[in-house]
A and B are shown apart, each in its own frame.
Chain A
Amino acid sequence: NAGVMQNPRHLVRRRGQEARLRCSPMKGHSHVYWYRQLPEEGLKFMVYLQKENIIDESGMPKERFSAEFPKEGPSILRIQQVVRGDSAAYFCASSPSTRSNEQFFGPGTRLTVL
């Protein structure tokens, strides 16, 4: 019973390039959440998606960031024209329903912007 899968685990980009982070939720989970952790800080909520719908994007930066969770395939967090401040660990979590209080996290993608 595989847990939440994220890839790549490490991603290096130069300033101005695009970063694509992928997340496959646990089997049976249709709710996906993205969080970002800056160095020495806690995790900060970014966006919550269900299949084909963005439910809450209150934590997403207004520009350059977007997320999707298509009917088929993984959820994608996309960062356009990356800057050094985007360097962080990005974690995906999933849950089976909105009534579920626990969220189960993947191993994260560590993005480094040179």
Chain B
Amino acid sequence: DQQVKQNSPSLSVQEGRISILNCDYTNSMFDYFLWYKKYPAEGPTFLISISSIKDKNEDGRFTVFLNKSAKHLSLHIVPSQPGDSAVYFCAARQSSASKIIFGSGTRLSIRP
């Protein structure tokens, strides 16, 4: 039972353009959402998060959008840079629970 789904295993974007990574969830009890970035042979690094009481959170080149009615969130990266090439994990949690539920990840490749 996959509660957090990332349906695109990979995405290729030209340098300088916008990267949009999508994520869907099924558990309406989730009230906090996170994006992690992971390079090969390293642990995930926290990127940006959003509470369910908001619909947008922006941090520099990264913006996360949350559509609660659709149970959908997305991560926008603009402009995309070569160093953004990595696997991006969408994740969610309930404030009352300790664990984070991860999606399967999207491998983003930024091409010159």
Q: Do A and B bind each other?
A: yes
Assess whether B103 is in contact with A107, with CB atoms less than 8 Å apart: no
- Please, how many angstroms separate the alpha-carbon atoms of A104 and B36 in the complex? 10
- Please, how many angstroms separate the alpha-carbon atoms of A3 and B68 in the complex? 33
Using a CB-CB cutoff of 8 Å, which residues 58-112 of chain B contact chain A? 89, 93, 95, 97-105
Assess whether A108 is in contact with B42, with CB atoms less than 8 Å apart: yes
- Given A33-B99, A56-B99, A98-B98, answer yes or no on A42-B89 (Cβ-Cβ < 8 Å): yes
Assess whether A42 is in contact with B98, with CB atoms less than 8 Å apart: no
- Please, how many angstroms separate the alpha-carbon atoms of A106 and B104 in the complex? 19
A108 partner residues in chain B, CB cutoff 8 A: 41-43
CB of B14 within 8 Å of the partner chain: no
- Given A91-B43, A101-B49, answer yes or no on A43-B32 (Cβ-Cβ < 8 Å): no
CB of A79 within 8 Å of the partner chain: no
CB of B45 within 8 Å of the partner chain: yes
24 A-B interface contacts by CB (under 8 A): A4-B43, A33-B98, A33-B100, A35-B102, A40-B104, A42-B4, A42-B102, A43-B100, A43-B102, A45-B100, A55-B98, A56-B97, A59-B99, A91-B44, A101-B34, A102-B34, A102-B46, A105-B36, A107-B42, A107-B43, A108-B41, A108-B42, A108-B43, A110-B41
Question: B-side interface residues toward A, CB under 8 Å?
Answer: 4, 6, 32, 34, 36, 41-46, 49, 89, 93, 95, 97-105
